[in-house]
Chains A and B, each alone.
Chain A
Amino acid sequence: MTTPALPLLKISGIEKHFGGLAALSDVSLHIQAGEIYGLIGPNGAGKTTLFNILTGLYQADGGNFIFDNIEYNGHNQPHHLAKAGIARTFQNIRLFANMSILENVMVGCHVHTHSGIWGALTRHKKARAEEQHIAQRATELLDYVGITRAPHKLAKNLSYGEQRRLEIARALATNPKLLALDEPAAGMNATETESLKSLLQTIRKNGVTVLLIEHDVKLVMGLCDRIAVLDYGKKIAEGVPSEVRNNPAVIAAYLGGEVTV
């Protein structure tokens, strides 16, 4: 007897209102472990709002989501969700600008390490070992995402594309099961986008599920296993790229016009 694998993330009927505006209404979707799942839609469709709910920065007004067999609704602390295994990047890059490149990634290791004040003051054997482990892991991750610059430079001095990669490295340092990327290719040129694509494929191959918000249609269509389309806070389509591409509701949402569904 085989039971169908439980999805890694199952979102059910999520609602979010800002005043009278329904940013998300009754959004449901599920993501299987190992997928690259795309989330697209016109500006203001509610994609980032959904991200903020998944990472505990906003609380949903209704509905819930089940991540890794644990149900979340109402009051979720961001650090609990990070610990549970959801890591994210931000649409407007939010690095720790005045910390070094390496330290940015080291902060990502915070959630799975334990040294406190006592460890910091005495630097006992365990604390030293942990610190060394953090530094080593961070260095490896910089290498993994392809940042070759001096790790002691300040993060704010990196180029735009490198900053986006650094955000991914920082998110990976939390050992996520689900990596949520908010427009990682925004502002990148064609070469950078291409290498981002291969990076995301490597990340997936290494066992991390990817949830991707992206406007670059070519990238999304070429990379994602499945795609959901949001428009005005509602899910208007879901499926494999070829289905979504030919869905009249999606074409209408992007190009305008009336369709009767």
Chain B
Amino acid sequence: MLAIILLALPFAIDDLFGRGWVRILDFALLYIMLALGLNIVVGYAGLLDLGYVAFFAVGAYCYALLGSPQFGIHLPFWIVLPLGALLACLFGVLLGAPTLRLRGDYLAIVTLGFGEIIRIFLNNLNAPINITNGPQGISMIDSIHLGGFSLGRTQEIFGIPFPAVHLHYYLFLIFTLLVIFASLRLQDSRIGRAWAAIREDEIAAAAMGINTRNIKLLAFAMGATFGGLAGGLFAGFQGFVSPESFGLTESIMILCMVVLGGMGNIGGVVLGGILLVVIPELTRHVAGTAQQAIFGKTLIDPESLRMLMFGLALILIMLWRPAGLWPSSQRRRELSAPDTPPHV
């Protein structure tokens, strides 16, 4: 049932709301992947990371540099994407290592700095040797090819035309499901328990024999890998990357998805990802038309009103559900667990 809905979704949305919304849907999937990656660091291991978008950037630029006229390198998708994820993973360890002794606010500040460093590097690596093309970014990135099958243009499958955005939707959906699968399995494993233990009490975790350094680095590495994966897909989908896409606001946005959806709970994080992509788009549409309908003219610039409404929505959600829209299963289990112990 869910599978049919997910398969038919782009066509339904295309018919009901137009092609633009399918594109928004694609972005929602990318953000879900990012949010799930950050959820490993923040939700599972309890390490507040404000520079997460750096790994998204690493994945995206890896794809862009190895699949564009920038250097004339055009490596195939299935090489570049894993390479980007691997590189992001490496950066995760690299940026994680100096922060191992930090927690809470201090960790947040340092990771924020790292996020900015990556962005500023990308912005300035156009001299003396032009690597990233600076603020102009890299354009004309190869579209995603699977073998000889291009996702960059409309393809006919069984006589049905699949536009490019639809094709990307299906690819992103597969990756999103993979990331969800990985998150679920990691959560309920020896490693997942070690992350949770560090989140709950690092000293007790260490005293119980958990190598906190390695386990934390593992969380950074796994989170970064998912970020790099999403980055590669983003570059291939968008065809253009520039440092502007990887600012602090993006990091905050991804963190909002995790917190608002329900930290540590995969369903909640997915929900948060969808909402935080859809709400700003909704308010974009509503901000202008509602004013027209009520006052007959546009009083406030729709673009600023849109962000105002978005902020208000966030505040309301957090007041109404401080643990997130869909809190972690642990808390739910706590409410419904029977009082008699099951026999094992």
A binding-site residues for B, Cβ under 8 Å: 55-57, 77-79, 82-83, 87-88, 90, 94-100, 103, 106-108, 110-113, 115-117, 119-121, 123, 127, 130-131, 134-136, 139, 148-154, 157, 170-171, 173-174
Contact = CB atoms under 8 A, between A and B. Distances in A.
Contacts of B206: 56-57, 77-79, 82
Nearest to A102: B344
Contact of B191 (A57, A117, A173): A117
Nearest to B328: A98
A220 B337 CA distance: 39
Interface residues of B, number: 35
B334 to A, nearest CB: 5
Nearest to A152: B337
A131 B209 contact: no
Interface in B293-324: none
Interface stretch (B61-69, B137-145, B197-205): B197-205
Interface of B is mostly: helix
A120 B192 contact: yes
Given A97-B200, A99-B196, A149-B341, A107 B210 contact: yes
Nearest to B341: A150
Contacts of A111: 208-210
Contact of B197 (A99, A154, A157): A99
Interface of B: 182, 185-186, 189-194, 196-197, 200-201, 203-212, 218, 222, 330, 333-334, 337-342, 344
The 7 A-B pairs with the shortest beta carbon distances in the complex, nearest first, are: A111-B209, A82-B209, A120-B189, A96-B200, A78-B206, A94-B204, A115-B190
A53 B189 CA distance: 31
Contacts of B218: 117
Given A95-B201, A107-B205, A115 B191 contact: yes
A127 B338 CA distance: 29
A151 B340 CA distance: 9
B207 A103 contact: no
Given A57-B203, A78-B209, A113-B190, 16 more contacts: A55-B207, A57-B206, A82-B208, A88-B207, A98-B196, A98-B200, A107-B196, A110-B208, A110-B210, A119-B189, A121-B185, A127-B189, A131-B189, A131-B190, A148-B341, A150-B339
Given A77-B211, A79-B209, A110-B194, A120 B203 contact: no
Contacts of A113: 190
A21 to B, nearest CB: 21
A48 to B, nearest CB: 12
A235 to B, nearest CB: 24
B42 to A, nearest CB: 15
A241 to B, nearest CB: 29
Residue from B191, B212, B222 with most neighbouring chain A CB atoms (10 Å): B191
A154 B330 contact: yes
A82 B210 CA distance: 8
A117 B196 contact: no
Contacts of B182: 121
Contacts of A150: 337-342
A224 to B, nearest CB: 23
A88 to B, nearest CB: 6
B208 A157 contact: no
A138 to B, nearest CB: 9
A98 B337 CA distance: 15
Contact of A99 (B189, B330, B341, B342): B330
Nearest to A100: B330
